Structure 1
Amino acid sequence: MSEFFNLYSHGFARVAVGIPECRVADPAFNAQQTITLARDAAAQGAVLVAFPELGLSAYTCEDLFHQRALLDACLEALGEVVAASVTIPAALVVGMPLRVDHRLFNCAVVVSGGRIHGVVPKSYLPNYGEFYEARQFNAADAATSSSVSLLGAEVPFGPGQLFEVSNVRDLRFHVEICEDVWVPVPPSSFAAMAGATVLVNLSASNALVGKSSYRHQLVGQQSARCLAAYIYTSAGMGESSTDMAWDGQAVIYENGELIAEAKRFVDQSHMIVGDVDLERLSRERMRLSTFGHCVRTHAEQVSRFAVTRFEVPVDTSARLPLTRMIQRYPFVPANAALRDERCTEVYNIQVQALEQRMRSAGIEKVVIGISGGLDSTHALLVCAKVMDRLGLPRTNILAYTMPGFATSTRTLEQARKLMSVVGASANEIDIRPSCMQMLKDLGHPFARGEKVYDVTFENVQAGERTSHLFRLANHLGGIVIGTGDLSELALGWCTYGVGDHMSHYNVNASVPKTLISHLVRWVADTKQIGELGSDVLLDVLNTQISPELVPGDANEKPEQHTESIIGPYELQDFNLFYLIRYGFTPSKVAFLAWSAWHDRTRGVWPNAPHVQRNEYPLSDIKRILGIFVKRFFKGSQFKRSCVPNGPKVGTGGSLSPRGDWRAPSDSESAVWVRDLERIPDQS
């Protein structure tokens, strides 16, 4: 099943940007440099390769552009590229000057398989500062012909063209040239609405202080607004230095995310490749209804585009893994500074939401159960911050730890320390007597001395804790704060109607487990509750996750280990992100997970010693994904259909039935389970 390990089988396309060394007014040399890079890109599996603006002539020819010898030589150079493309399995986009109807145009030519598929003239000519393009060239709107005879073939000519590689799903691209993306409404905006998923820009763009950063902003934002991939290439080594310098900047963006970037100021031909997720782009356009609305609004401009279709020989049976880095923790930024920023923002969203709920309800107290585990620890930290913002004493946090039949000494001590360092009103209620009374009322074997630890035994304890909290809230005039997180809700790892499912307000409702762990670590690292508090938080982070409902042989270690039952949260959060946020098939999610996790060194944050360098073989990835699919798509939606209020914190999504996720409680999981069978058992 080698096709499973081929990126084209999962909605990706590999694209490349070539920055060839050039010689001014030497098209033969420039063509050979272009052909060499094109072969290298195709050998790496690229299906589309873009080259700089006027790359066959060089951008800085100035009035030499009006010399027939140069223009004829450019045509000959194009012929060399076209002839070479017969044995290059990729679509090439090259720049050159071209005479059409007695006028000269700055053009991009699309070539593959020994054929020219179309010629796109530049729409907007800069004629300011160091640029005088209007001296030599005409803008696209000056053209009177819609086709041109080129190397013995009649080919489409004009800006209103899209090119579709019909054997690569969703690969439809548009070409614009340099200044076209700098104007208020770039041509690529309408092209994206007409179905282009990849936007190509052939640029020259000289080097100036600060310009590189601005290019990033420009290209990144255009890719984000258009929900597209954007390939940007510019002139490099060899262009004239008469009045300008050239850095050869090249970038590939996908929906605002930088996928690949070339080094600048390189003194030889160079290239970058990047794998763009076309399925992701298609799904985002389908999901965001305003994109379709915009298409309707600009229907006249959109309808002007013509599509040229052709095939490129792409081998989908060969093993071709991703080159782009798939982050293991999609909910948590890999960059340390961004991670701290994310933690700050999530924390403040949770705090603001609870603060508003308390203000609107006229409530000054909260009731919260503290287990000594991760989720309740973070919820307690949020409550403490809310009290500070409301100007209320932290003693208004009515915190209760409620040991049961399986509570370990470690978590009980951690709960006591947490309540103390936060400054909450610390309380302890032993729920075993009330649980035993209920078990007696039920006629349960445990009440007769038998070691029967079934689901009834577990849920009696969970239910007693919840019952105490709600009645305490009634008695003391507070609201119950929920602690269950997004990961547990997705997996159905919560008992219906009890504490990890039901509350008056749940601050953790849309925060996944992996993010909660980093939020707690962030509070610890920044010493927000003092040195002693940080030590307690680190102890919590190092505690194995367990519901602690089944007694073990010793109180020091719990009998139950959550992740041994439902799988590691780091993998399940990965599955949650790609299955629910993007709606990918299980087989694609497995491919992404394998790309991120099969190698101990891939996708791991640098300078992050607390992140384990785990490694999962494909067999484990498939098994754990199977757990998620079966638990999420069948059997647990009824729990998600009636969750309490809680704030959405990120674009990764929420499972609130009032927000991001509306689904039937009695659907089947057959189609997802069937797709799991496409995943090999080993790599």
Structure 2
Amino acid sequence: MTKNFYSPASHGFVRVACVTPKVHLGDPMANLTEHLSLAERAGAAGADIVVYPELSLSAYSLDDLFTQEVLLDAVKEALAALIFFSTKIRPVLVVGLPLRVDGALYNCAAVIANGKALGIVPKSYLPNYREYYERRYFASGAGVVNRLVDGVLFGTKQVFAAGGSAFTFGVEICEDLWVPNTPATPLAVAGANLIVNLSASPVVIGKSRARKRLCAAASERLFCAYAYSAAGPGESTTDLAWDGQSLVYELGNLIAEGERFTSDSLMLADVDLERVAAERLKTGTFHDSGQGFATDVARTGFDWKPHELTDFHRQVARFPYVPDDASRLDEDCYEAFNIQVHGLMQRVSSTGSQNVVIGVSGGLDSTHALIVACKAFDRLGIPRANIHGYTMPGFGTSTGSKNDALKLMKALGISAEELDIRPAAKRMLMDIGHPYAQGEKVYDIVFENVQAGLRTDFLFRLAGIKKGFVVGTGDLSELALGWCTYGVGDHMSHYNVNCGAPKTLIQHLIRWAANREFDAKTGRILTSVLTREISPELIPIEAGQIQRTEDKVGPYELQDFNLYYITRFGLKPSKVAFLSYQAWKDKYELRVIRQWLEVFLYRFFTISQFKRSAVPNGPKLISGGALSPRGDWRAPSDGNAKIWLDELRENVPE
């Protein structure tokens, strides 16, 4: 069992604190007091590393005071005191200060832990334009070769690492982030999973947005977490003001943001450095880019003991395939819908077909595939009448779904027909000697698959008659869970427009299309489809309770969550369960989350891959999210789930 399942530290999360001390201009000992107070608060909150602003021990806006011996001596005295007191402070401290080294003055970051300085990192790029005059006081660290100064390594090419963990970090200072060739680049390539930036960037209108863009880009380009801590309003003097912006990004995503225009403030963020390391492992070009590039980066180790607190400073989206932000969701739906439409357009054009055949059940997947086909034909200038839709009622078809299918086909203006498969199904059941044909109410998997298989047979033969091809409807979630009968409609087609779309996203795609791509009448029918229970409708309703897919395979909202983290990031099942608990604990108990994750692991790794190894073409929609053997996911058809299930059962409480 994991030492403490409920603690994020047990799952590879490192807690970053970005702090904005109250500033005492030119009074290092007073600043030391502020530093110690924030360090103690951060340590009590479980922080593993505390990032202070640029020149935090002296203040940044001192101008020619940086040349005063009294100030520089006081800074050195404050640094020594901070190193001494760090024996009583749990986190690593990264503080800013001016420091004389070999007759030159540098704008530096000191990395301090356990009563000693681990290293001193000078600022590489000194702005000397507009309001900046840093070259007036400081020497650039860009050309400095790592060397010992008073027993401490001094230089820009340093990585600091907690042994046996993914907690490795590098340091850059303010302007270093803004230049094309950032000092962080060789540090990341050399193994720094976290980059911290000590900044004293003064604020003007729009500056906050620029910082966010740069931090997001750096974290995505360098495959890292990026923590940015800026000087606060206490620096404001003469012609300039400061806002104390704190930001933490991870692989391009904002994890936490502190309140601006405050002092004596502390912002916490749990960053997943194991996930960062895993992303680098899967991206060969990241390592290729570092060959001969980061060989002179020094690596300094430090002792680190993870905290055991159970609070979590990070938002976990319940629907990782569906953005919470309305404008981004609109953009994602626009892209996904048009990828599907243009993928189908290309297949129609390349085959020279003027007709397609599609089974329309009135459920989510076939509804979405149908509206994609309609838009593809509209843009190709082919009449919608050349889309041949068939609703094929079986033994469990409900009146509501059948009526919606017929209404939708009529509203869309396609060629619509009803083809009752029950006579053919009864004949097949009789021919194979199934008990149902003898009057017994046996509703087993064979009973279901006879219906599903006949629908597919009819569609393929109808495609031959119509001189077209079959448009598939099965979605990504069904492929992941193996919730598709081998060789039938939700598995096989000539081209499957939905194969890259998870169930939770398809619901939003239909809603998006209903509001933007179709008339009000069609939109109302599409909305009606969204309200219906997800069901294969293969067992007669009189047999008992309505057949619900999620009773068998689990809630799609949980299984899509599992799909995202297992396939996209390759996380341990216990970590997926932890994240799922953080996202869903208001709705599902941990035992329920574990139960359905077990189902997912068994179905995904054991009984589904042989189906995924033989799927038709279809458009990829999500980065790292395709399950086609020609896409993102390749696995042996005869694998098993044992080690994943063992890891889950050993490390997640029942």
TM-score of the two chains, using structure 1 as the length reference: 0.94
SS in 1 for 2:508: helix
Distance 2:284 2:48 in 1: 30
Contact 1:101 1:144 in 2 (8 A): no
Aligned equivalents of 1:667, 1:590: Cα separation in 2: 22
* Aligned twin of 1:233: 229
Q: More deviation in 214-223 or 640-649?
A: 214-223
What's the CA shift for 1:445? Answer: 1.6
Partner of 2:431: 441
Residue 147 to residue 425, structure 1, CA distance change in 2 (3 Å): same
Question: SS where residue 625 of structure 1 aligns?
Answer: helix
Return the match for 2:173 from 174, 177, 182.
177
Alpha-carbon shift at residue 444 of structure 1 (Å): 1.5
Deviations 1:284-324 (A, max 9, x none): 1111111111012xx1x301101110113333xx3423220
Matches within 5 A, 1:45-444: 45-141=46-142, 143=144, 146-149=147-150, 154-166=151-163, 169-266=165-262, 268-296=263-291, 299=292, 301-315=293-307, 318-444=308-434
1:275 positional shift: 0.9
State the AA in 2 paired with 1:111: I
**Is this contact kept in 2: 1:590–1:679, CA < 8 A?**
no
Partner in structure 2 of residue 645 of structure 1: 617
In 1, the alpha carbon distance for the partners of 2:572 and 2:309 equals: 20
Deviation at 1:552, TM superposition (A): 2.1
C-alpha displacement at 1:62, in angstroms? 1.2
Q: What amino acid is the match of 1:163?
A: F
Distance 1:124 1:593 in 2: 43
Check the 8 A contact 2:426/2:437 in 1, yes or no: yes
CA contact (8 A) 1:262 1:272 kept: yes
Q: Structure 2 vs 1, CA of residues 259 and 145 (structure 1 numbering), >3 Å: closer, same or farther?
A: closer
RMSD of aligned C-alpha atoms?
1.4
Residue type at the aligned position of 1:449: G
SS of corresponding position for 2:389: strand
Paired letter, 1:426: A
Cα distance, 1:525 vs structure 2 = 3.4
Structure 2 matches for 1:473-552, cutoff 5 A? 473-526=463-516, 528-552=517-541
Letter paired with 1:8: A
How many angstroms apart in 2 are the aligned matches of 1:6 and 1:371?
46
Change in CA separation of 1:61 and 1:458 when aligned onto 2, cut-off 3 Å: same
Q: Aligned equivalents of 1:144 and 1:379: distance in 2? A: 61
The separation in 2 between residues aligned to 1:327 and 1:110, in whole angstroms, is 34
Deviations 1:659-682 (A, max 9, x none): 111111111211011011134445
1:611 corresponds to = none
Aligned twin of 1:471:
461
Counterpart in 1 of 2:600? 628
Separation in structure 2 between the aligned mates of residue 636 and residue 187 of structure 1, nearest angstrom: 46
Letter in 1 for 2:295: S
| Per-residue CA distance 1:586-609 (angstroms, 9 max, x = gap) | 10100000000002xxxxxxxxxx
Equivalent residues of 2:146, 2:153 under 8 A apart: no
Structure 2: how far apart are the matches of 1:237 and 1:531?
A: 53
- State the shift of 1:145 in Å: 7.3
2:562 corresponds to 1:572 = no
Q: Is the 8 A contact 2:97 2:107 kept in 1?
A: yes
Code of the aligned partner of 1:161: Q
Q: Look up the equivalent residue of 2:440 and give its one-letter code.
A: E
Q: Which consecutive segments of 4 or more residues in structure 1 shift more than 4 A?
A: 141-145
Gap change, CA 1:448 and 1:61, over 3 Å in 2: same
* Structure 1 position 340, deviation (Å): 1.1
User: Deviations 1:182-208 (Å, cap 9, x if unpaired)?
Assistant: 111101011100111000111111111
Contact 1:283–1:582 (CA under 8 A) maintained in structure 2? yes
Q: Is residue 594 of structure 1 aligned with residue 581 of structure 2? A: yes
- Quote how far apart the aligned CAs of 1:117 are: 0.7
Compared CA separation, residues 638 and 138, structure 1 to 2 (3 A): same
**Structure 2 residue aligned with 1:610:** none
State the AA in 1 paired with 2:537: E
Please tell me the residue identity of whatever aligns with 1:16.
A
Once the 2 structures are TM-superposed, how far is the Cα of residue 635 of structure 1 from its aligned partner? 1.6
Secondary structure of 2:542's counterpart equals: coil
Contact 2:220 2:250 in 1 (8 A): yes
Q: Secondary structure at the match of 1:292?
A: helix
Letter in 2 for 1:542: T
Work out the percentage of aligned pairs sharing the same amino acid. Answer: 53
Structure 2 runs not aligned, ≥5 long: none
Q: Report if aligned partners of 1:201, 1:231 keep a CA contact under 8 Å in 2.
A: yes
Which whole-Å CA distance do the structure 2 matches of 1:546 and 1:659 have between them?
29
Q: Distance in 2 between matches of 1:408 and 1:139?
A: 75
- Indicate the SS of the match to 1:544: coil
Partner Cα separation in structure 1 for residue 572 and residue 306 of structure 2? 22
For 1:275, the aligned partner's letter is D
Which amino acid is the alignment partner of residue 265 of structure 1?
F
2:591 is matched with which residue: 612, 615, 619?
619
SS at match of 1:55: coil
- Is contact 1:89-1:314 (8 Å) kept? no
Where 2:62 maps in the other structure, the secondary structure is: helix
Give the one of 538, 542, 563 matched to 1:553: 542
Q: Counterpart of 1:540 in structure 2: which amino acid?
A: V
C-alpha distance in 2 between matches for 1:391 and 1:286:
46
SS of equivalent residue, structure 2 residue 95: strand
1:321, 1:595 within 8 Å by CA — same for their partners in 2? Answer: no
| Equivalent in the alignment of 2:29 | 28
1:551, 1:558 within 8 Å by CA — same for their partners in 2? no
For residues 60 and 311 of structure 2, the distance between their equivalents in structure 1, rounded to whole angstroms, comes to: 36
Q: Deviations over 1:92-150 (max 9, x none)?
A: 0001111111111111000011111111111111111111111111111465771112x
Q: Deviations over 1:624-657 (max 9, x none)?
A: 0000001111021110000000000111511001
Once the two structures are TM-superposed, the CA of residue 529 in structure 1 deviates from its matched residue by 2.4
> Which range moves more in the overlay, 323-332 or 80-89?
80-89
Q: Distance in 2 between matches of 1:679 and 1:235?
A: 42
Distance in 1 between residues matched to 2:69 and 2:287, nearest whole Å? 47
1:667 is aligned, of 616, 639, 649, to 639
Match of 1:59, SS state, is coil
Residue type of the alignment partner of 1:219: C
Distance between the aligned counterparts of 1:417 and 1:11, measured in 2? 52
Q: Find the aligned partners of 1:61 and 1:82 in 2 and give their Cα distance.
A: 24
TM, length-normalised to structure 2 = 0.98
Aligned residue identity for 1:597: W
Q: Distance in 2 between matches of 1:32 and 1:217?
A: 33
Indicate how the Cα distance of structure 1 residues 142 and 193 shifts in structure 2: closer, same or farther if over 3 A, else same. closer
Q: Aligned to 1:4, what secondary structure does the other structure show?
A: coil
Structure 1 residue runs of 5 or longer lacking an equivalent are 600-614
Distance 1:75 1:512, change over 3 A: same
- Aligned-pair distance for 1:83? 2.3
Counterpart AA for 1:663: A
Q: C-alpha separation between the residues in 2 aligned to 1:354 and 1:144? A: 57
